[in-house]
Amino acid sequence: KQEVTQIPAALSVPEGENLVLNCSFTDSAIYNLQWFRQDPGKGLTSLLLIQSSQREQTSGRLNASLDKSSGRSTLYIAASQPGDSATYLCAVRSDSNYQLIWGAGTKLIIKP
């Protein structure tokens, strides 16, 4: 059974720092992996989607990497801003299933 873990559960850093959020999964037979952002009282916003054949995806200050063999993905945020404060979740879709299996998220606070 696929399990997704995100470490740390919470992170607080000063504005301007580069940071890395981690996501690990137990079954490497994945179809894709997505990183989402969740703001309080709002829905989930998809940030990056990495297909199983890809190693990384970039969007603006965000870069997500995928290492299937080790069961890991990282989300790199460059030059963090207070507006980046949110909970970041990763979700994995397995080969044989359309369901998304989610981590519990990392709550990120960027201090001005």
Partner 1 sequence: GAGVSQSPRYKVAKRGQDVALRCDPISGHVSLFWYQQALGQGPEFLTYFQNEAQLDKSGLPSDRFFAERPEGSVSTLKIQRTQQEDSAVYLCASSFDIHEQYFGPGTRLTVT
**Which spans of this chain sit near partner 1 (rule: CB under 8 A)?**
4, 32, 34, 36, 41-46, 49, 89, 91, 98-100, 102-105
Which CB atom, from 34 or from 65, has the smaller least distance to partner 1?
34
Shortest distance, position 7 Cβ to partner 1, whole Å:
14
Shortest distance, position 43 Cβ to partner 1, whole Å:
4
Shortest distance, position 2 Cβ to partner 1, whole Å:
11
Closest CA to 13 of 58, 64, 62, 77: 77
| Burial classification of residue 22, based on how many CB atoms lie within 10 Å of its CB (0-12 exposed, 13-18 middle, 19 or more buried) | middle
Shortest distance, position 16 Cβ to partner 1, whole Å:
28
Which CB atom, from 32 or from 54, has the smaller least distance to partner 1?
32
Distance in angstroms (rounded) separating the CA atoms of residues 37 and 85: 9
Contact by Cβ (8 Å): 104, 88: no
Q: Give the three-state DSSP class for 30.
A: strand
Which CB atom, from 47 or from 77, has the smaller least distance to partner 1?
47
